[in-house]
Chain A
Amino acid sequence: MTTNVEVARPRHGRKDPVTPPGRRSVRLGGLDLRLSPYLFVAPFFLLFAVFGAYPLVYTAVLSLRKNTLIGGDAGFVGFENYRKVLVDAHFWTVIYNTFGMFIVATVPQLILALMVASWLNKNMRARTAIRMGVLVPNITSVAAVGIVFGLIFADRYGLANWLIQSVGFDPIEWRNHRWSSWTAIAFMVDWRWTGYNALIYLAAMQAIPKELYESAALDGASAFRRFWRITVPLIQPTILFTVIISTIGGMQLFTEPLLFNYGRIQGGSLNEFQTVAMYIYETTFTNNYNVGKGAAISWLLFLIILIFALVNFLLVRRSVRGNMT
C-alpha cells in the first residue's frame, strides 16, 4: 500500500509543475505561492538535520576514531573499529540473537494477528470493547512489560513456572538457555504487538469485497481455504508492511531483554539473549566506554536495517505489481 502510492506518485508529480498555475498567481502574491511550500516543510528538515542527519553523520565519523567516554578522543584510526567488531565472535553472537529473536517473535506474532483479525472481521456484539481488549497491551510501556514479565518468568518463583509445574513439568530456568529466554522475550514482544497488528490486518480485510467470500462459500470452499486463498493474497501488501515495521522494531530490540534479566546488559551468562542494541550500549557505556567501537556497531546495524528494508521494499513492489496484472 505504501508503494502503491509511491510508485504511482512520481509520474503525477513531475507533470504538475508543467501545468501553468493560471490566474491564481495573478490574484495572489507569486512569492507566497512559491515560498510557502518550502516554509511549510522547512521546520521538519531543519530539525531533522540537527537531531537526525547530523548524529547519523557524526556516528560515522566517530566510528572511524579511537574515542572513549572516559579517555576522550585519541585520533583517526580508519576502519580499525569495524575490523575489531567484525572479527569479534561476540558481534556475530548478538547478530544471531537479534535475528533469531526477531524470527521467533515475529512469525508467531503475525500469524496470531492474522487469526485474531479474521475473528474480529465478523459481525458481533460489543465490537469496540472487544477490539480495545485486544489492543490494550499496546498502550503499556516497554518498561512496565519488562518488569511484569520479568516476574512472570522468574526462574524459581514465577507465575509461568508455577503453571508449568502444576501441570507436572519441571520448572524452566528461563534465563539459562537460548530457547527459553528467546521464548520468554518473544512472548513479551508478541503480547504487546499482536493486537496492534491484528487491527491493521482487520482494516485490510474489511476492504476486501464480501461477495468474494460469499461466492467462494457457495462453491464449497472451507473457511480455512477461503482464508488462505482469498484473505491472505489480497492483504499481502499489508502483511509485508507489517513485516517491515516489525523488522525495524525487531532489529532495535533492547528494553525487553534488558529488563527480562533485571537490567543486566550482557543478557545471559553466554550472551544468549543479548541483542545488537544491548551490545552497543554495553560497548559504549560500560566496560571500556568505547564510543568509537559502539559507533561502528551502530552503523553496521543501520546498514543491516537498510538492506533488510530494501529487500522488503522490493518484495512489496513485486507483489503489488503481481497483484495488478
Chain B
Amino acid sequence: MSFTPRRVRSVAAAALTVGLALGIGACSAKKDGGGSDSGAGGSARISLSYFGTPGFTQAVKDFEAANPSIKVDVKNEGQTKDFTPKLAQQLSAGSGASDVVMLEEGMLLQYLKDNKSFANLLDLGASSLEDEYLAFKWKNAFTTDGKKLVGLGTDVGPLAMCYRTDLFQKAGLPTGRDEVSKLWPTWADYIKQGEAFKAKNTGAAWIDSATSIMQPYIMQNSDTWFYDKSDKYIGDTNLAVRKAYDLSMDMAGKGLTAKLQRWQADWDAAFKNAAFATVPCPPWYTGVIKERTGDGGKNKWDIATIPGKGGNWGGSYLAIPEQSKNKKAAFELVKFLTGKQGGLDAFKEAGPLPSSVSALADPSLTGATNDYFNDAPVGQIYAGAAKELKPIYLGPKHQALWENAFEPAMQAAEQGKLSAQAGWDKAIKDSKALAEG
C-alpha cells in the first residue's frame, strides 16, 4: 500500500480529532424531540407536523403571540405519502411523533379504526366546541361508537375549476370567469370544450391528468367510494366509481390529458411551463398552484365553477398522539389553528377554506379576493359552496386504496400501457386485495 508513515499518522490524527471533538457534544446536538418537555404550567415547547401547503406560518406566529408560554416547532413533512409511513412508525414506536399532527382525511379514517395511539380530544375540552365547526367535519372525526373525537378539522375542500386565461385566450375561448363557468354545466360539456381546445393546438393539454376528475365526480355523485358504511369493499360495484373512471378514460383516449402524475417533479414543473389549461381546484389547491407556478404565473390563473355541482376534495384534521407529553398545550394549538383566527390566517396565506363556522362567516373571508388569481372573489366562490357540502363516507384504508392501488392502475391505462378495461380490472383487483389484506 502506498502509505508513508506521515500520511498514516495524519489520517489517524484527522480521524481521531474529528471523532473526539464531535464525540463530546455528540447526541445532544439536537433540539427537543417529538415528546417534548412539559413545563409544568410554565413554558412549554410543542411540535407540529404538517404535510402539503396548509399555510400555518402566520397562524403559528399568532398563536405564539397569544400564548407566550408555548413555543411551537413547525415541521414540514413533505407530502402525505412521505408522512403517512413515518407517522405510523412513530406511533407504533410510542415516541418520535409530534405533539400535534396533521392528518389527511383518509389517514384520519384509518386512525379512527385504530385509535389507541391518539388522544381523545373530548377529554381535553373539545366537547364545548361542536358549534364552532361545520357539522359534517365535526362528525367525521368520531369513532364509530361516538365516544372518542380523534381530530378537529382544519379545512374543507369545496370544488371549483381553475383555468389558465392565457391558454384560453390562445385557443379563442372566453376568459372571464362567469362566461367560462357557463361553458361547462356538466362533465360532458367540459370534455366537449376540451376537444375544442385541443383542436386549436396551443401545445398544452386540457387537464393535468385523467385521475384529476375522479375525486370531483365521485364526490358529487355518491356518498361512498371504496367502502360502504359497514366498511365492506364496494369499489367494484359502486356505479359512481365506474362512471368516473369511464369519463376519465374518455378524456385520456381523446388526448386531452397531460398524463402527469400529481405531486411529482414533472407535474410541479408543468405548472411553470403552462402544460395544461384546467385543473379542478378546492381552496387548498390554490396555494398549490401558486407555489408551483411561481411569480411569473400571477394573474394567469382564474377560478370558475366546477362542472356538475358541489363536491368536496380533501381537507385535513389536526390530532394529538397519545404519546405527547404536553397534550394541554397541544390542544391549545389545535384549537387555535382550527378556530377562527387560525383558519383565517391560513386562508390568507395559502388558500385552504376553514372548517370553522365563524371564520366562514367573517367578512374578511367572504369578501376576500385572491390577487394571484386575477382578484377572483375566492371568499364568495368557496364559502358559498362550503355550506352545501355533504359528507361522503371514505372508510378506513381509503388513502392507500386510492394512491397505492387504484390511481397507479389508472395512470397505466392513461399512459396507454393498459387498455381502459384492463386498467379497470387491475385497479379493482389491487384495491380489493389491499382492502381485504
Residues of A whose CB lies within 8 Å of any CB of B are: 69-71, 150-151, 154-157, 173, 176-177, 261-266, 268-271, 282, 285-290
Contact = CB atoms under 8 A, between A and B. Distances in A.
B57 interface: no
Given A156-B266, A286-B400, A286-B404, 14 more contacts: A70-B114, A71-B114, A156-B270, A157-B266, A262-B264, A263-B78, A269-B408, A269-B415, A270-B426, A285-B85, A286-B84, A288-B434, A288-B437, A289-B92
CB-based closest 4 A-B pairs = A269-B411, A269-B412, A269-B408, A285-B85
26 contacts: A70-B92, A70-B114, A70-B117, A154-B265, A156-B266, A156-B275, A176-B415, A177-B417, A262-B265, A264-B264, A265-B81, A266-B404, A269-B261, A269-B409, A269-B411, A269-B412, A270-B418, A270-B426, A271-B408, A286-B84, A286-B85, A286-B88, A286-B400, A287-B397, A287-B400, A288-B437
Given A266-B408, A269-B417, A157 B269 contact: yes
Contacts of B78: 263
Given A70-B88, A157-B273, A287 B437 contact: yes
Nearest to A173: B415
B421 interface: no
B364 interface: no
Interface in B393-437: 397, 400, 404, 408-412, 415, 417-418, 426, 434, 437
A69 B114 contact: no
Contacts of B117: 70
Contacts of B85: 285-286
Interface in B368-415: 397, 400, 404, 408-412, 415
Contacts of A173: 259, 415
A16 to B, nearest CB: 28
A150 B268 CA distance: 14
B91 interface: yes
Contacts of A266: 404, 408
Contacts of B426: 270
Main secondary structure of the interface of B (DSSP, over half): helix
A123 to B, nearest CB: 17
A173 B417 CA distance: 12
B408 A270 contact: yes
Contacts, number: 78
A267 B426 CA distance: 16
A259 B221 CA distance: 37
Contact of A287 (B265, B404, B415, B417): B404
Interface of B: 78, 81-82, 84-85, 88-89, 91-92, 110, 114, 117, 259, 261, 263-266, 269-270, 273, 275, 397, 400, 404, 408-412, 415, 417-418, 426, 434, 437
B187 to A, nearest CB: 24
Given A70-B88, A155-B266, A157-B266, A270 B404 contact: no
A261 B82 CA distance: 13
Contact of A289 (B88, B263, B265): B88
B417 A156 contact: no
B406 to A, nearest CB: 11
A150 B265 contact: yes
A262 B79 CA distance: 11
Contacts of A155: 266
Contact of A69 (B89, B404, B411): B89
A177 B261 CA distance: 14
Contacts of A265: 81
Question: Which among B259, B264, B270 has the greatest number of chain A C-beta atoms within 10 A?
Answer: B264
Contacts of B418: 270
Nearest to B85: A285
A264 B273 CA distance: 23
Nearest to A285: B85
Contacts of A154: 265-266, 269
B434 A270 contact: no
Contacts of A69: 88-89, 92
Contact of A285 (B89, B264, B409): B89
B52 to A, nearest CB: 14
A32 to B, nearest CB: 28
B321 to A, nearest CB: 13
Contacts of B417: 176-177, 269-270
A154 B114 CA distance: 39
Contact of B91 (A70, A268, A270): A70
A260 B308 CA distance: 38
Given A270-B417, A287-B400, A151 B88 contact: no
A282 B265 CA distance: 21
Contacts of B273: 156-157
Nearest to B409: A269
B129 to A, nearest CB: 28
A269 B415 CA distance: 9
Nearest to B401: A287
A156 B269 contact: yes
B266 A287 contact: no
Contacts of B114: 70-71
Contacts of B437: 287-288, 290
Question: Which among B78, B261, B270 has the greatest number of chain A C-beta atoms within 10 A?
Answer: B261
A319 to B, nearest CB: 27
